[in-house]
Structure 1
Amino acid sequence: MTRVLISILSLFVILFSNINGLNVTEYLSYIEDLSRDPHFVAEYTKWALELSSDPEYMYGASQPFPCSTKGMQSTEIPTSVHALRPGDIQCVGAIGDSITAGMGAHALTPIGVLLENRGVSWSAGGDHTYEKMITLPNILRLYNPNLKGFSTKTSISFLNGQNAKHNGLNVAKSGARSYHMVEQADLLLDRLRNQEICDWNNDWKLITFFIGGNDLCDFCTDIQKHDPANFVGWIRDTLDRLYNANLPRTLINLALVLDVRPAKELKDGNFICGLLHKMVCPCAAYPTDEQEKILNEWIPQYQQGVVDLINSGRYDGRDDFTVVVQPFMAKTVPPRKADKIDFSYFAPDCFHFSGKGHSVASLSLWNNMFESVATKKYSWHQGEGFECPTQDHPFIYTSKNSV
């Protein structure tokens, strides 16, 4: 058993290091040494079993959908993005990193963390139905059963990953940083133009854009490259690419970057968490005093810089395209249970989301979409119900229809 685990973990480190730029030799040696320790083997097995014992771990808690779908699809296709009802969305897509790719959402082993469970991704996953798994596409399909573009099934980060045939318009790539987003925008545009997924001209498209966690988790490896000005610049370049491509009938959900500072506490929750955080988020989990000071300064600057970019009106020049900041990730902290972090919301690496975590993230995104710009919440809507579109305001909120 120990030899098998050594081989698995060795492969895990080799493959994942190619994604995150680790020192393969040093880390491989470290993992191999740990894997020869019966205590490590026992602790990992115990941890995986503990996580999977939660009945909501894989898919989250099911709940009846409280919102009325009546009148939530326009009788005629709207021409303005500011008059868009949930049933008008005909196509969904996403750009981002491993969280959008669903990495490790159903993982129970180190190798499992390398699998991307894109079908349960909070913003783009379309596996199952709303009754089993809450995702943004599964909610939208209650309003429009003919929704297209969502990702399904599982991809392998180090093989087909971003290009698996069932990914739809989920072009997120594990390990991606903000400076990879223009490439993802190009890939998204290519799929929209050349694959028969959606109608470029006529379908209303909802694209969720979420990036920045890897920038912050790795900032200490190249402080100049990852500074807030560069981050905001790459976000601007990506949105410019989509806007200037004259992509019609598009609403961009721009989710603010997650605050990674809780990684310092997450890594202390369990022996396995401490080990794996050295790989997935080293600069936030194990910061020096100076690095911690930089994170405290930069995270608000990352977030506010993006807000200022959108508030500048740069993407408000057309009536069929807009970008809306959805801030629910900005101040989210790990959920707690009995005054301890509730790790059932996390994959075994204690960083990525479990199916349960994806479920709460999708509900939170939905709720942000139906909160006016001035009243949007900046953290997960954990334990809360759904915000529903109403007959008085059936539209997804934008800067122009929030007034």
Structure 2
Amino acid sequence: MKSPFSPLSFSLEAIMHNKYLAAALSLLNFQQIPIHEPPSIAPYTNEWIHALEQMYNLFPHPSNTTTRDQCMFDVPTFNCTQFYWDDGVTQRDVWHLRPQDIKAVISIGDSISAGFGMLSARPPFANVWEYRGKVFSSGSDSNEYTIRNFLSTYSDTVGGPVGITVPLSRGKGLNSAISGAVVQTLDEEVTRLVHQLSHTQYNSVRDSWKLITVLIGANNLCGLCASPSTGLPQQATADEYEKHLRLALHRLRTEVKHAFVNLLALFSVSVVHDATRGNQYCEFVMDKSNMYICPCAQGTDEERKAADAMAEEYNRRMYKVAKEFEGYKDFAVVVQPGLTAFDVAKYKQAYFSGIDCFHPNLCANQIMAIALWN
């Protein structure tokens, strides 16, 4: 099946002529490692994952990240003690929330919020999953640095998933993020979220305060540099982004209600490209003649500059849309710019997935949780 979103090309001929992989193949019996050769593969599908796994398994990966101990820097210990803060407010509104008031954590967005490829090393071969239980915004795996786990110090919260899902899953718990999502598909995620909240297991929080994290737009930015025949550049305009973001937030206000929304600003596409330089595997994967992951990150300097400029415009539109929701007492949207200040390319691949050199790894998710919490 060919998807209109981020088409991926995987060329066997390109692999055989690549100097890095050719060296690796010379050490292996090629007949024992069959490699798919379709003209294009839809991202995050089984075929796409299988192709990525095969490429990954042909290269040495000395710096894979599977545990917190392997991160470049230690994170501070979260040692806050549980307490009950009584400020005397009887009619609480969204602008006077305390951590203990949050009873449900929710995430919507794309593969970043789904935790795609967060852990990359599964010796001797790679397996690719969505690590939703470790996602910075709502993961509930024990001892992980996530907003949900921080909140658990003050209140019992529901909705945060544990464990993993297969790529392209339609969510787990109240994490409704879908790998490959664009702003135009947020409406589908909100529909699933509303359906989930109608289940009896969420009766106790339906009218309680909820913390919703929205991170969307990376795939729209990537599509800006795709072939016009895919229709993706037309979906990447700032007006399109603003329109569909507003629609999703409006539905959250009217159908989910009682929510504080963290709307995360986007970082530049060029940092992904810059972080791959000097890494043989990443340079190979991010060469679009071998594999198509993000057209702008894999494009020319001019294309990356255009995508970075569009990311800045998306962020400006976020502030514009968020301001439209300022007048409500039971719903608020606040743009969180913290992630844009993180010069991730400075640390090369220390904060990127070892499997595709594109998605945030476990170490990055820890930093993202701390930045959002503070």
TM-score, with structure 1 as normaliser: 0.74
* C-alpha displacement of 1:240: 1.3
Aligned residue for 1:298, secondary structure, equals helix
Rounded to whole Å, the distance in 2 between the matches of 1:269 and 1:69 is 46
Q: What are the superposed Cα offsets for residues 218-273 of structure 1, whole Å, 9 maximum, x if unpaired?
A: 2112322211111111111111111232x332111111122212122123231211
Q: C-alpha separation between the residues in 1 aligned to 2:117 and 2:26? A: 19
Does 2:208 align with 1:203? yes
Cα deviation for residue 186 of structure 1 reads 1.1
Q: How does 1:353-364 map to 2 (within 5 A)?
A: 353-364=360-371
**Other-structure match for 1:235:** 245
Cα displacement (A) at 1:71: 3.5
Distance 1:73 1:356, change over 3 A: farther
Q: Which of 300, 309, 312 is equivalent to 1:288?
A: 300
* Root-mean-square deviation (Å): 3.1
Deviation at 1:288, TM superposition (A): 2.9
Per the alignment, do residues 33 and 293 of structure 1 end up closer, same or farther by CA in structure 2, a change over 3 Å counting?
closer
TM alignment of 1:384-395, pairs within 5 A? none
SS at match of 1:143: coil
1:140 maps to 151
Counterpart Cα distance in 1 of 2:368 and 2:361: 11
1:208 counterpart SS class: strand
Deviation larger for 35-44 or 82-91: 35-44
Do 1:77 and 1:88's aligned partners in 2 also have CA atoms closer than 8 Å? no
Per the alignment, residue 257 of structure 1 pairs with 266
Find the residue that maps to 1:148 and give its secondary structure.
Answer: coil
- State the 1:55 CA deviation: 5.8
Quick check: 1:173 aligned with 2:206?
no
Match of 1:325, SS?
strand
Q: 1:152 aligns with which of 162, 182, 189?
A: 162
Equivalent residue number for residue 30 of structure 2: none
Matched, 1:212 2:239: no
For residues 112 and 187 of structure 2, the distance between their equivalents in structure 1, rounded to whole angstroms, comes to 18
Distance, in Å, in 1 between the alignment partners of 2:366 and 2:343 is: 16
Shift of 1:109: 5.9
Q: 1:86 to 1:280 in 2, by over 3 A?
A: farther
Name the aligned partner's letter for residue 320 of structure 2. D
State the one-letter code of the partner of 2:261. I
Corresponding residue pairs, total? 335
TM-score normalised per structure 2: 0.79
Q: Residues 90, 51 of structure 1: CA spacing in aligned structure 2 closer, same or farther, 3 A cutoff?
A: same
Q: Would the aligned equivalents of 1:101 and 1:172 in 2 still touch at CA under 8 Å? A: yes
1:352 matched to which residue of 2?
A: 359
Cα-to-partner distance string for 1:127-150 (whole Å, 9 max, x where unaligned):
013xxx211111111111x21100
Counterpart CA distance in 1 for 2:26 and 2:367 is 31
Counterparts of 1:113 and 1:75 in 2: how far apart (Å)? 52
Cα separation, partners in 2 of 1:316 and 1:285, compared to 1, 3 Å: closer
Amino acid at match of 1:243: R
- Does 2:329 align with 1:319? yes
Shift of 1:363: 0.4
Unaligned runs of 5+ in 2: 28-55, 227-231
Q: What stretches of structure 1 of length at least 5 have no aligned partner?
A: 1-13, 368-403
Alignment partner, residue 102 of structure 1: 115
Q: Does 1:91 align with 2:98?
A: no
Distance 1:41 1:359, change over 3 A: farther
- Structure-2 change in CA distance of 1:82 and 1:122 (3 Å): same
- Secondary structure of the structure 2 residue equivalent to 1:205: strand
- Bigger Cα displacement from structure 2, 86-95 vs 214-223: 214-223
Which string of whole-angstrom CA distances, capped at 9 and with x for unpartnered residues, describes residues 199-221 of structure 1?
35432110100011111122112
Q: Once the two structures are superposed, what CA deviation does each residue of 1:12-33 show, in whole Å capped at 9, x if it has no partner?
A: xx9xx86954245x44664577
Distance 1:237 1:87 in 2: 29
Change (3 A) 1:53 1:294: closer
**Equivalent residues of 2:242, 2:318 under 8 A apart:** yes
CA distance in 2, matches of 1:83, 1:59: 37
Shift in CA distance, 116/53, structure 1 to aligned 2, threshold 3 Å: closer
Structure 2 residue 267 is the aligned partner of structure 1 residue 267: no
**1:316 maps to amino acid:** E
8 Å Cα contact 2:108-2:175 kept in structure 1:
yes
